[in-house]
Amino acid sequence: MIKLSTKADTLKSIEGLLQNAIVLPQVSFCVNEWGNNAPIIIDNVGRTFGHSKVIVRSSAVDEDTASTSNAGKNLSLQNIGTDADCLKNAVNQVIASYEDDNPDNQVLIQPMLENVVLCGVAFTMDPNTLGEYYVISYDTSGATDAITSGESKEKLLYIYKHSPKQVEKNIDERMAILCGTLSELERIFEIPNLDVEFAFDKEGHLYILQVRPLVLVDKREDSNSTARIEVVLEDIYSKIGNNQKKKPFLCGDSTIYSVMTDWNPAEMIGVRPKPLAISLYRELITDNIWAYQRDNYGYRNLRSFPLLVDFGGLPYIDVRVSFNSFVPASLEETLSEKLVNYYLQRLRENPLAHDKAEFDIVFSCYTFDLDDRIKVLTDYGFNDGEIKDIVDALREVTNNITDFDNGLWRKDWEKIRILEKRYDEIVGSDLSDIDKVYWLIEDCKRYGTLPFAGLARGAFIAVQMLKSSVSCGILSDDDYHLFMNSLNSISSQMNADHYNLSKQGFLDKYGHLRPGTYDICSPRYDEKPELYFDWSAGSNSESEKKEFKLSLDQMKAFKSSLEKCGLSNDVLGLIDFIKSVIEERELSKFIFTRHISEVLRLLRKIGVEYGLTVDDMSYISIQSILRLYSTTEDPEEVIKGSIECGKRKAAITSMLTLPPVIISQEDIYAFEYPDTEPNYITSGEVTAEVVEITGDSISESACRDISGKIVLIKSADPGYDWIFSHKIAGFITQYGGANSHMAIRAGELSIPAAVGVGEKLFNKVRRSQIVELDARQKTIRVLRR
């Protein structure tokens, strides 16, 4: 075994040892040697490297340790000549960058690497999850410091260390060579967590530029996790393979899995939800309710088809099932099959569209520009008669949903009000806490999430109609933003009530909200009000609501388009529908989340009875609680057994990393994180300091310090609505769509936002201090790291 040491000594120790990689020759020396023998060292550099350009690198004692890397702390200078003056000046600059005068600090001189075509940094363990992955960030610009400087638009590759042979064949040859060398370095140093800088030249030679310990905050506790994860991945591989087959009663020859295509689990419960959160989301929405709603609204009957599947605890949407549910029920079976296969093909061609599939791929409703957009089907073998059948079916579905007076959305609007009345009856009853949980869940499904799903469908159609009126020239972009700004949502009301109501009155009305709707560990507003709101601050009034009015010419254009398209609403009916259904969607979400929040509060209380912490209860499955309603099993035994099982599963989930889109079985072992196209809201521009707010680590200092800053949050969960009570400059979310709650909210308040930027860009921004967010130009630029 060779021990890791300073940058220079570590590289010297492996020079000539690696089978398929090169370590560049070096001249290295301590600071005290330089002070005593600078001329001799300069002469040695000249003899070693001739007239070639060199790089003068720092190699301080406090760099590359097991506790801190101090990467980039000290100076390194490139393209330095080997003449005495150039070398002396460069070495002195590097030494001057050291914070201390430790005489054992070193300077490392190596030849400049030429003809670089690919360079990067590789970790031999996922630093975020401690999973057994090679995590490789690389750049193809040719600059050897592109990744470490943070200036590149790098690619991010994950390769599971123990991938089967059939997967290795699909890995890029250079990455396969690198993985072999990383494995070799792990054996040489007998350390599983290494941080390695590398480069390839145009001849395909691999160069190792640095090896140091990968500094980890957490340590892996379960020594058997590696073997178990290997088994779990084998099961996932097999499951995906089986699910690619044709299925009865389901259109489409195969399937795809995505974290954001429908009902957005990555946004709503996160990519690694704990067992309680994912089981609640399934019970309330993705097992059955979602399909009942689509069927009720005139789409294909997908009842009994779960929308969400989990792979080792990571939630994914079965895209084939989702795409089936957007096909009108009246469409003939053969054409439905053809249409679903088209949708799947388009997503395979453009996986980046997975979080915008209903905007960019699927035709789920009639819009003013549908006749133009649907022409793309002719390129995929659809004839005019088939296209007409699809258009006619979509028109029928849209008319049935959107009619202002008698549309299907109206019934759901009425049903959600029943839920409000039934809440007090259940909570105020003499039922046991377990029975109350059962009935709150049942009521929430029937009178909460089901009608909410309908109103959300109506709101999606409303936004599509509005955007299509812009693309057809009826409204301008400014008109669109003005309309969104004119909405009066529950969120707008909450912001006003924060200053108009007493503290207790405000909490009585809004106290059930929490940043993580399905997360029991996330405090409610009324549990930690000072965490979310500054009660001493002056009024942060909403941006002035400007009334939206159509001009006479716009009225005529709408009237003409409605008649031409065969849509049943008149102009005022359409505008009233669009406004009402968007506002009602937000209100219905506010109403049904009170049921969920009370369920979580009761579960906390039940946990206390059995000596369990809130964190313990986050590992329970909600189904284990629900079954206690109709059995005589011992509640303590069932609950503790469920928690124990949940913790075992969560240990695996925490170390798994899978891609946001899974197209083939092999993707689970080796994949590149895609660049995601953000949804920019408003046309504003802002430059400000960034601050991140996370549901599991909200601090009072962070909450107080968000005013005037660009706020970073992982998801667009409505529980984060409290941020709008502060004068934030803008916000950026990792997950979320153009039609999400926070996107609607940004439009209302005219706050520049980027919703759903993806993991790569989000992580780049969170490592920065000052960022420019320009929604009009659709850019996010890091100004200070």
The whole-number mean pLDDT for each consecutive block of 10 residues of the chain, a chain of 785 residues, reads 93 96 97 94 95 95 76 87 95 93 94 95 90 92 58 79 82 94 97 95 97 76 69 96 96 96 90 95 98 98 97 98 98 98 97 91 97 96 98 98 92 92 95 98 98 97 96 94 88 86 95 92 91 69 72 96 94 95 94 97 98 98 98 97 96 93 96 82 88 66 74 78 86 81 78 87 86 84 78
Residue 198: strand pairing partners: 120, 208
Q: Which helix (H) or strand (E) holds 670?
A: strand 670-673
**Distance between start and end Cα atoms, the chain:** 37
Report d(CA 117, CA 139) in Å as an integer.
8
Report d(CA 443, CA 427) in Å as an integer.
12
3-state DSSP helix/strand/coil % of the chain, to nearest 5: 50, 15, 40
Report d(CA 228, CA 253) in Å as an integer.
32
681 & 783 share domain: yes
512 & 618 share domain: no
- CATH code for the domain in which residue 36 is found: 3.30.1490.20
pLDDT at position 150 is 46
103 & 118 share domain: no
145 & 106 share domain: no
Report d(CA 229, CA 227) in Å as an integer.
6
Instruction: Tell me, yes or no, whether 411 lies in a domain.
Output: no
95 & 184 share domain: no
107 & 126 share domain: no
Catalytic residues: 741
Residue 56, judged by CB atoms within 10 A of its CB (0-12, 13-18, 19+), counts as: buried
704 & 772 share domain: yes
> Which residue, of 112, 146, 178, is where some domain finishes?
112
Report d(CA 437, CA 427) in Å as an integer.
9
State the number of CA atoms in the 13 A half-sphere of 429 facing the CB: 14
Instruction: Tell me, yes or no, whether 335 lies in a domain.
Output: no
Count of structural domains, the chain: 4
pLDDT at position 760 is 78
pLDDT at position 766 is 87
pLDDT at position 129 is 85
626 & 762 share domain: no
Instruction: Tell me, yes or no, whether 64 lies in a domain.
Output: yes
Residue 210: strand pairing partners: 197
681 & 769 share domain: yes
| Max Cα-Cα span within the chain | 92
Residue identified by tokens 């590398």 is 198
pLDDT at position 701 is 47
Instruction: Tell me, yes or no, whether 311 lies in a domain.
Output: no
- CATH code for the domain in which residue 696 is found: 3.50.30.10
40 & 99 share domain: yes
138 & 11 share domain: yes
Instruction: Tell me, yes or no, whether 475 lies in a domain.
Output: no
Report d(CA 248, CA 299) in Å as an integer.
18
Residue identified by tokens 């301008």 is 476
Residues of the domain holding 212: 7-17+113-220
Say if CB 28 and CB 49 are below 8 A apart: no
> Which residue, of 182, 203, 220, is where some domain finishes?
220
> Which residue, of 160, 192, 220, is where some domain finishes?
220
pLDDT at position 488 is 87
Instruction: Tell me, yes or no, whether 758 lies in a domain.
Output: yes
pLDDT at position 145 is 59
- CATH code for the domain in which residue 134 is found: 3.30.470.20
Instruction: Tell me, yes or no, whether 746 lies in a domain.
Output: yes
91 & 210 share domain: no
Instruction: Tell me, yes or no, whether 643 lies in a domain.
Output: yes
